[in-house]
Amino acid sequence: MEVHNESTAVKPSKRNVVNVIIDGISGIFLPIVNILSAAGIMKGLLAGAVALEIISKTEGTYTVLNAMADSLFYYLPLLLAFTSARKFGANPFTAVVIAGVMLYPSLTTLFKDQETIRFLGMGITPVNYPSSAIPIILAVGLLVYVERFCVKVLPEVIREFFTPLISIVLVSSVTLLVFGPMGSLAGDALADGYRYVYNLSSVGAGMVLGAIIQPMVIFGLHWSLVPLAINNISVNGSDTLLALMGPAAFAQAGAALAVFFKTKDKKFKTLCLSASISALFGVTEPAMFGVNLPLRRPMFIVCCAGSIGGGMVGMFGSAAISFAFPGLATLPAYLGDGFGGFLIACTTGFLIALIATLLVKLGPVPGSEPEAK
């Protein structure tokens, strides 16, 4: 799964609604995916240390380490405010201040106690803003238009300081009164909807997603799943969606490794090995675009292996306890329910792709005449 390459984002030339939404989501989350993964690994390692009784939750060491691991997720709206503002063209510092209003301690304490705050004669519905994504993205979307309006109507002599003043008051008010409750309802609906589908048939959900997730990466469609995964973790404390993606990523590595063994082209062999290693660590684009997709049959095998492995993940009920795209380095983020089954499923996806690719006849090596036999 791509974690640092913007090549998967949809190009601006295709501006239908779906492409615009996906392009927006990728632009917002792509800059922070690596740090999200790092924090996810830390949370997983800390959970593992507690489970093995290496450290106790009552210790000061745990408190400090947990702050290191959890601070990004708690203050996620601040990061999303900055990346959303850069993507939409708003003032990023004003956006961060608005996110800070949502996370202000005296407000979050009252919201946590489910107390309704009276503001300008209206009641503010209690919303859990830490770790949320939807409200701040909506807020920054509104901020863009408020800033444009202020720039258009305010005299230049007062524009520089009145624009952020008006923006903070207006957008923060709308966010607390409207976007917060809307985002909370939307987040709960997404989580409930996914849970309903997953509960209908976890194996079926795993097989379908496992088969299509890598083709989704080709078009950047996988970014549409990132907010849902983060929302699941925020609402439920864990996410099965990320776990279902795992076997397909490892299948890309297995297929690329098989091509490495089969091809006689030295330059292509080097590419296959490096791409396989990259896929093992969660970055599947080199294996997909450089090896498996051009040869076609390995890509079809990857989809089949991902489907089988995804079904196994669903059967085991595996889940991520924190956000991280699946790979060897991010395994600690999957130390939740069904971790052993997750390892088995990912290994199965890898081996099926490896063995099946070794057994099929491959086409010509991309860019050269010799065939990979």
Q: What is the chain's mean pLDDT, rounded?
A: 87
Q: Does 82 share its domain with 193? A: yes
Domain boundary among 200, 229, 256: 200
For residue 5, is pLDDT > 60?
no
Q: Does 150 share its domain with 65? A: yes
Domain boundary among 152, 172, 200: 200
Q: Is 1 contained in some domain?
A: no
- Give pLDDT, residue 367: 56
Q: Is 364 contained in some domain?
A: no
Q: Does 230 share its domain with 151? A: no
Domain that holds residue 133: 7-200
Query: Tokens in use for 263?
Result: 């091809």
Q: What is the mean pLDDT of residues 20-38?
A: 80
Distance CA 167, CA 171 (A): 6
Q: What is the mean pLDDT of residues 29-36?
A: 82
Q: Are 221 and 22 in contact (CB under 8 A)?
A: yes
Q: Is 261 contained in some domain?
A: yes
Picking from 301, 300, 315, 313, the residue whose alpha carbon sits closest to that of residue 352 is 301
Q: Is 367 contained in some domain?
A: no
Q: Please give the tally of structural domains in the chain.
A: 2
Q: Is 373 contained in some domain?
A: no
Q: Does 139 share its domain with 274? A: no
Residue 149 CA: distances (Å) to CA of 35, 138, 153, 317: 35, 17, 6, 50
Q: Does 149 share its domain with 95? A: yes
Distance CA 251, CA 361 (A): 18
Q: Does 253 share its domain with 188? A: no
Q: Does 327 share its domain with 352? A: yes
- Give pLDDT, residue 249: 94
Q: Tell me the chain's radius of gyration from C-alpha atoms.
A: 23
Q: Choose the weakest-confidence range: 41-55, 78-92, 96-110, 174-188.
A: 41-55
What are the residue ranges of helices labelled H in the chain? 17-29, 33-51, 60-74, 76-88, 92-102, 105-112, 134-153, 156-174, 180-200, 202-218, 226-236, 241-262, 266-280, 285-287, 293-295, 297-316, 339-359
Q: Is 316 contained in some domain?
A: yes
Distance CA 219, CA 29 (A): 16
Q: Does 209 share its domain with 183? A: no
Residue-wise pLDDT for 262-297, tens only, equals 998 888 899 899 999 989 988 888 898 889 989 889
Residue-wise pLDDT for 69-126, tens only, equals 889 888 989 999 999 999 999 999 999 999 999 999 999 888 888 888 889 888 898 8
Domain boundary among 185, 200, 215: 200
Q: Are 44 and 331 in contact (CB under 8 A)?
A: yes
Q: Does 209 share its domain with 190? A: no
Q: What is the mean pLDDT of residues 333-357?
A: 94
Q: Is 2 contained in some domain?
A: no
Helix (H, G, I), strand (E, B) or coil at 67: helix
Q: Does 208 share its domain with 193? A: no
Picking from 252, 321, 235, 329, the residue whose alpha carbon sits closest to that of residue 51 is 321
Q: Does 140 share its domain with 213? A: no
- Give pLDDT, residue 165: 95
Q: Is 371 contained in some domain?
A: no
